[in-house]
Structure 1
């Protein structure tokens, strides 16, 4: 049945494109009059329309399947970080939490290479850059490549996100831009500053040529508030006819104070037309204090005498209540976090025209990144007996304790102190050199290029040892008064809306004093079993040829290329070895591995008409495992009377996941800022990485060891449709109207080595998603209204051994309005989450919800000055 449905869907997609085009033609929105009106040059293109036109030109002329987002003006985007911008790109999906968009996936996949001005950029020991850390104030544009050429950095099966910053030669002369923004968050109840500035200038002399310099700086503060009402996975209640119900429910109150500083620098020198040199750098620093306050209320499901009801027409819990319930675990736990992230990247490079037809380019880059976290957690409990009522309401957990003041610290006592901390770092040195030859004769061969890239990457990670500390039941009122706080009030109808919690700032600022008050010794030591150090050396060579030829009346161009890359891993860690007597010893562990991959690629474009083209792109890509997955350290746990002998480890022999990708597109650019495009795509994966438990014999004893393996195959298919138009043919003020819309369909899944399907879809992938953006620009006014929707998806398969964790559709509505007070001064108002969206997920069925999450609604007012 699934195969038949897939065939129907595949046949349906070209038909949908024809219907869409016919409908738009019938409606007159793509009439020849509109095309001629825009081609006639009677419209002055600025701001939003100019940005859309530039992005469309980049997409149209690219060798690859890609989308681009260009700034309306210097650093002017309707969002405050790169991740939020990407939420409106076809095939790209984001998750918002902790006050902003953070997680980004392309076509349902997380294997993404992030680059800064074409150079690989990362955060600490991660493979990619945390895109929310890049402020939009420094951006020229963002390019999202869904296919890759031979001359692009390898390492992402989903695609490449390239963040482009301004350079001084992008401007004709001096440019100054200053922005001040005040941002108010509804749930957090705070108004915070966002400040940025950029200065750029260039000079020209007959003796020294052109020289330019640019500098930028940005500061952002964001105090946020997220809240969750949660319900545990359902279990059978034997005392109540095996009814399906959660054993507990509660709250998670997340608050944070994030401060970001960022700066960039760029210098360019062009002494003559044959030589250009540049140097540039980017730095960012993030200080982030946050906490998640967990409230856990165990229900009296194991006690007789409770009043219990089920949901109508089902055997799932609706409500439970009991007075004087004793033996219930009632917990308030503050998980405090103090994060610091620092990243720097510097690069020098240049271009030299060796001859009129041969040029050489080179670049040397150095990247440094460090991340540290202090994470003290204090668990406090409330002894019974208690009156309690729990229920399922509005898709979440309703919980109250009649007769008990849950905000008072009087009855709460300490239970467990978790002394957590971790640190990770990364650094790399990259060099590349490229030679490009453009033949003088106008033949089939248009360009031949070849190059080499050498990179050495270091990554380390370690976390604490013996973090669990069971402490005496000390009344919290006998501890320093600064420890005791009350949460902010929660929204929605979920019963108890405030409760006692240890204070985040006290835990972070007075951790040592709290250890002493709880009778503990100093800060926990690092755990050698968590430590790894990875040195990854890559050598890549490529050869690429561009061609062009007329096939009858149709111009055809494209490129073919191949990239060879060798990856060497040298990993150090520690293993725990258990002797026959049961004594454990920690010993160093080391491993070396080398893999080589050949990555062919080809792109072909046919220009059926000057504004109508089709594109076929095929190639092979790889994705390397996370550095921690290579850790050779092995931790063993001997069997007991009730448990098996088990172990956990990384796998230094992991091979990169390989993906063979094909994209087929049809693109109609019927005006300078108007287009209709459709793309069909398929990814076929081999050596797909999955975690498995397998028996391993170690020192004559069998252990069930959990580690990652290259065991799976996977397949992803889908289609993307995009439409963009500005209605300049309309009279008067209506000529400022425009629209952008895109929709994506995807399906696919993972198979293990025996061919049996393990997941029908990739975790985190929505089968359908769309964006609709209304645009307006006329005279001094510009506006944008953007709606994003993605279908339900499985967040995690077999969640806690219970069921699939399914997330309901996600939808956000954002808006921005700008008005030019003068030619140099613009005032803007923007708002996010206008629908006050609440995130819902559930345990396989809507009758067993897990979370209801509510986020801040954000309103910002900006004043921009540009000279």
Structure 2
């Protein structure tokens, strides 16, 4: 089915929803009954019904081919089946999209390395907590019909993503012909945590012809419980041990060498639950009038912990040090006697409740189409943590900071599983709540002209009112007054750690920490041990902030079309004008901003032939700062008496002076579609970026008179992002017999981004931007079998700058890749068995301190080593 480009541009109005319904009926999953494997140039070939992976890829290719924007898409293979386990995981297969992993999942999504991604649900702005985007991992993949990644914009798309826009399309009742019931369940085993988890989902949808017109209703739900474990071994920043004569003690055994403040490891365990419910009511009283009411609710709950082992090389008597061959001023290893050594249990309990309610309608009269909708978003984020540090004395401790990129720690002379050796030291007892709500209204009008050049014009307006309120306790340690050892506590108050940290590379065996559930379930008992009153601590007024933001937007656009000889040219041009009024207040701090932006854009698509297309796009974008980044408050964390650290502690805070990120984007692509399941595309892009926001650490004087290394977001200027993308997909139907089910997806991206250093001058790489990334996916689909083996790889990128210490201040990753597998077998047309495996090669992540330090001296030394769960999943889906 051919679609006007407009149907893919109008991301926030009911017109898109109806166009998307028709589109989904043609191209998504098992409902893609009209999809054919035949070449588009052969309309007389017999129609073949396709499902599964092939239908998914054909649907995504159809969206890309027919859109006026430069867009890449994911289409669900069937109800409840995206190609990967989560929306974020699935997006990593999209050309130019990279992800970062933490807590057992893809935790963030970047487009061409930039994390400033606007997220929409069915074309409507959505968010989680105080952020400006929705956590894509919180949207159950089982509820999703497809995901569109817009790399260029049109005036009617909501502003907000310098990197691009991700639109998650949920299912609606008019997507289906009639009564549809579907569901599925998966069991998951994670090897590093040695835990079992599960996912269950279901959908019911129907539509009826009634005396008041056609009515449809859909209800879908998903529940996901996932247990996971990440592991991390770390070297923290290195600082000198000072004496009265020298900045660095030059006497034996120090020899002027800087020693890491801490070396150790972390087991991060979680028990995460996600609930998602989606409902939709559609009503068409007549052929030219339609209404809808949609609702989406998500709940995220996570009880998780960090189990720390913290060796303090300077926390005793240093008897020897060794230096790196190339950087002798940095210690590569130490031996310490009577070493004060810490363990810590950080127990957390987080919950986020978010919902979106939307109501709207569309009326067609003559050549005019009017639409309007009202949306309410609400999100409440609650966090609680109880942290108890414990200590023991290590008679002898030897540390190799760089044992193949990972620290190795050897401790002798103490039984680390004896509770009588551990003393309770410090309590951190904190909680916070952040509530955000938004009302958004928009109205749109499209007038079809169908002239020789001008095809239609659109105008529209949008108003939003959003409030953000955040409160938190003061994150300061509470020292114990009377010494208590672990053996004085009940046996359920503490626990033994796992063993074999990061595949045994650290040498750390089992040790004792407080128990996660005991800390969270018996917090008053812990408070009493530290001389504190029962009950949660009061919020600190100095840690409260609120923000009120109103936006007023107007857009006008036109769709055009004409021929250059035998080549049709189509496109959309126009501008979006938006006024932002912001008022932020905090403790003794306030900030008011009022700024107007004009965001013109134009997209053009040239049909060089029936199968070859050229796209060109130009436009301006606006990305407002995250609300949390505007928070003027600072949280301080003293380091304690662990040797000379250079600063008293660390801190983090926001910056109320942040300004929006503004960009001018230039994009071009050449796309070849020889058949409905085969494509080859190549594209290039260039963006000027002004005001890009990155986090930097600077020494600041704290309220207690001590110096802290404080991290804050700051605007950078005169930046750019440039690169190229290439993608190819094909099914090899020409091969004989069973081999004709083979297919392949390949894509790669090159990116280069730099911006000004706001602290030291000069140019530096934009954080998170890998120069190279690629996906290689082998596919097989035949005889009811669908299988996909996918490898994702990205090159090194900058994690952060200005880390402090005498070693290099820049943290950079090593290149990393992951291999995943998914398969399904259709037992019957209504019943499918599934199997998935992730992280098959059991990858190891490394990052390093690499580059120049504050004195301009180069070094390259290890920082973190991380390992993750491999997961194996068995499941089943049904639909009738």
Q: TM-score, normalised by structure 2?
A: 0.87
Instruction: Tell me which of 237, 255, 262 is aligned to 1:241.
Output: 255
Instruction: Tell me which of 833, 838, 850 is aligned to 2:839.
Output: 833
Q: SS where residue 152 of structure 1 aligns?
A: coil
Q: 1:379 maps to what in 2?
A: 389
Aligned length: 806
Equivalents in 1 of 2:711, 2:313: separation in Å?
Answer: 33
Q: SS where residue 740 of structure 1 aligns?
A: strand
2:205 pairs with 1:175: no
Equivalents in 1 of 2:230, 2:319: separation in Å?
Answer: 36
Equivalents in 1 of 2:697, 2:82: separation in Å?
Answer: 47
Give, in angstroms, the shift of residue 651 of structure 1.
Answer: 5.2
Give, in angstroms, the shift of residue 858 of structure 1.
Answer: 0.3
2:507 pairs with 1:495: yes
Aligned CA distance change for structure 1 residues 709 and 374 (closer, same or farther; 3 Å): closer
Q: 2:344 maps to what in 1?
A: 333
Q: Is the 8 A contact 2:696 2:802 kept in 1?
A: no
2:409 pairs with 1:399: yes
2:570 pairs with 1:560: no
Equivalents in 1 of 2:389, 2:417: separation in Å?
Answer: 16
Instruction: Tell me which of 853, 864, 867 is aligned to 2:877.
Output: 864
Give, in angstroms, the shift of residue 727 of structure 1.
Answer: 0.9
Superposed counterparts of 1:42-57, under 5 Å: 43-57=48-62
Equivalents in 1 of 2:783, 2:636: separation in Å?
Answer: 70
Equivalents in 1 of 2:73, 2:305: separation in Å?
Answer: 36
Superposed counterparts of 1:500-515, under 5 Å: 500-515=512-527
Superposed counterparts of 1:698-713, under 5 Å: 710=715, 712-713=717-718
CA deviations on 1:350-400 (whole Å, 9 max, x unpaired) are 111022x11111111111100111111100010343454545323211112
Q: 1:683 maps to what in 2?
A: 687
Give, in angstroms, the shift of residue 788 of structure 1.
Answer: 0.1
Equivalents in 2 of 1:223, 1:51: separation in Å?
Answer: 30
Aligned CA distance change for structure 1 residues 339 and 284 (closer, same or farther; 3 Å): same
Instruction: Tell me which of 560, 563, 572 is aligned to 2:585.
Output: 572
Q: 1:820 maps to what in 2?
A: 826
Q: 2:467 maps to what in 1?
A: 458
Aligned CA distance change for structure 1 residues 647 and 280 (closer, same or farther; 3 Å): closer
Give unpaired runs (5+ residues) of structure 2.
1-36, 241-248, 638-645, 702-706, 852-858
Superposed counterparts of 1:134-173, under 5 Å: 134-173=139-178
Q: SS where residue 461 of structure 1 aligns?
A: strand
Give, in angstroms, the shift of residue 783 of structure 1.
Answer: 0.3
Q: SS where residue 452 of structure 2 aligns?
A: coil
2:121 pairs with 1:112: no
Q: 1:855 maps to what in 2?
A: 868
Q: 1:621 maps to what in 2?
A: 621
Q: 1:69 maps to what in 2?
A: 74
Q: SS where residue 528 of structure 2 aligns?
A: helix
Q: Is the 8 A contact 1:458 1:535 kept in 2?
A: yes
Superposed counterparts of 1:743-822, under 5 Å: 743-751=748-756, 756-759=761-764, 761-801=765-805, 802-803=807-808, 804-822=810-828
Aligned CA distance change for structure 1 residues 591 and 36 (closer, same or farther; 3 Å): closer
Q: 1:250 maps to what in 2?
A: 264
Q: SS where residue 609 of structure 1 aligns?
A: coil
CA deviations on 1:303-357 (whole Å, 9 max, x unpaired) are 4543x555667646554445xx12x2300011110001101111111111022x1
Superposed counterparts of 1:580-619, under 5 Å: 589-619=589-619
Aligned CA distance change for structure 1 residues 304 and 757 (closer, same or farther; 3 Å): closer
Instruction: Tell me which of 229, 236, 241 is aligned to 1:232.
Output: 236
Aligned CA distance change for structure 1 residues 695 and 738 (closer, same or farther; 3 Å): closer
Give, in angstroms, the shift of residue 50 of structure 1.
Answer: 0.9
Give unpaired runs (5+ residues) of structure 1.
1-31, 576-588, 698-702
Superposed counterparts of 1:303-314, under 5 Å: 303=317, 305-306=319-320, 308-309=321-322
Which of 598-607 and 474-483 deviates more?
474-483
Q: SS where residue 137 of structure 2 aligns?
A: helix
Aligned CA distance change for structure 1 residues 549 and 858 (closer, same or farther; 3 Å): same
Q: 1:295 maps to what in 2?
A: 309
CA deviations on 1:30-69 (whole Å, 9 max, x unpaired) are xx99887998446442211111111001011112111000
Q: Is the 8 A contact 2:318 2:334 kept in 1?
A: no
Which of 737-746 and 511-520 deviates more?
511-520
Equivalents in 2 of 1:101, 1:711: separation in Å?
Answer: 27
Give, in angstroms, the shift of residue 530 of structure 1.
Answer: 1.8
Superposed counterparts of 1:393-542, under 5 Å: 393-439=403-449, 441-465=450-474, 467-472=476-481, 473-490=483-500, 491-522=503-534, 523-542=536-555
Q: 2:353 maps to what in 1?
A: 342
Equivalents in 1 of 2:79, 2:354: separation in Å?
Answer: 23
Instruction: Tell me which of 354, 362, 377 is aligned to 2:365.
Output: 354
Equivalents in 1 of 2:326, 2:550: separation in Å?
Answer: 61
Aligned CA distance change for structure 1 residues 708 and 249 (closer, same or farther; 3 Å): closer
Equivalents in 1 of 2:528, 2:512: separation in Å?
Answer: 22
Equivalents in 1 of 2:132, 2:216: separation in Å?
Answer: 33
Aligned CA distance change for structure 1 residues 33 and 599 (closer, same or farther; 3 Å): closer
Q: 1:20 maps to what in 2?
A: none
2:192 pairs with 1:196: no
Which of 90-99 and 515-524 deviates more?
515-524
Aligned CA distance change for structure 1 residues 635 and 793 (closer, same or farther; 3 Å): closer
Q: Is the 8 A contact 1:538 1:565 kept in 2?
A: yes
Q: After TM superposition, which residue ranges in structure 1, 4 or more long, deviate above 6 angstroms?
A: 32-39, 633-637, 646-649, 691-697, 703-707
Q: 2:736 maps to what in 1?
A: 731
CA deviations on 1:733-765 (whole Å, 9 max, x unpaired) are 111111111100011211157994242x11111
Give, in angstroms, the shift of residue 794 of structure 1.
Answer: 1.2
Aligned CA distance change for structure 1 residues 763 and 695 (closer, same or farther; 3 Å): closer
Which of 155-164 and 495-504 deviates more?
495-504
Q: Is the 8 A contact 1:67 1:144 kept in 2?
A: yes
Q: Is the 8 A contact 2:814 2:845 kept in 1?
A: yes
Q: SS where residue 155 of structure 1 aligns?
A: coil
Equivalents in 2 of 1:134, 1:403: separation in Å?
Answer: 50
Q: Is the 8 A contact 2:397 2:409 kept in 1?
A: no
Q: 1:282 maps to what in 2?
A: 296
Give, in angstroms, the shift of residue 666 of structure 1.
Answer: 0.5
Q: TM-score, normalised by structure 1?
A: 0.88
Equivalents in 2 of 1:800, 1:338: separation in Å?
Answer: 31
Q: 2:640 maps to what in 1?
A: none
Instruction: Tell me which of 379, 397, 419 is aligned to 1:369.
Output: 379
Which of 541-550 and 292-301 deviates more?
292-301
Give, in angstroms, the shift of residue 768 of structure 1.
Answer: 0.4
Equivalents in 2 of 1:570, 1:365: separation in Å?
Answer: 22
RMSD: 2.9
Equivalents in 2 of 1:615, 1:793: separation in Å?
Answer: 30
Equivalents in 2 of 1:33, 1:693: separation in Å?
Answer: 58
Q: 2:557 maps to what in 1?
A: 544
Aligned CA distance change for structure 1 residues 304 and 707 (closer, same or farther; 3 Å): closer
Give, in angstroms, the shift of residue 683 of structure 1.
Answer: 0.9
Which of 613-622 and 799-808 deviates more?
799-808
